[in-house]
Amino acid sequence: MKIGSAIANFVKNAGKAIKATFTGEENDVLTDNRAEAYIGEAIKILIAVVIGALVLALAYALLKDTVFPTVTSKIQAMFDYTA
């Protein structure tokens, strides 16, 4: 019996939503701000990704000439089986 009442409530609510849509009782789309939090979070994530990419590019540019050649030569020496 609970399933039947749940279905009845769903149909009744769907009917109210459809009626509100066609009669214009629904909130105006331009003044609806329910998704503002999601947009704000998305912008924060994008800013964090861009700043992270800039920091990594800066670190790579600073360490390219000093650290990476040393690490490369040590790795090549470690796998040199001719000696």
The domain ranges of the chain are: 2-26+34-78
> What is the chain's length?
83
pLDDT of residue 29: 52
Beta carbons of 33 and 27 less than 8 angstroms apart: no
Grouping H, G, I as helix, E, B as strand and the rest as coil, residue 75 is helix
Global pTM reads: 0.45
Structure tokens belonging to residue 78: 């470690």
pLDDT of residue 67: 79
Q: pLDDT band at residue 82, thresholds of 50, 70 and 90?
A: confident
Q: Which residue has the higher pLDDT, 12 or 60?
A: 60
Please enumerate in sequence order all residues whose Cβ is within 8 A of that of 19, keeping only pairs 6 or more positions apart, or say none.
Answer: 25
State pLDDT tens for residues 35-81: 677 788 889 999 999 999 999 999 888 888 877 788 888 888 888 88
Q: pLDDT band at residue 9, thresholds of 50, 70 and 90?
A: confident
The dihedrals phi and psi of 5, each to the nearest 5 degrees, come to -70, -35
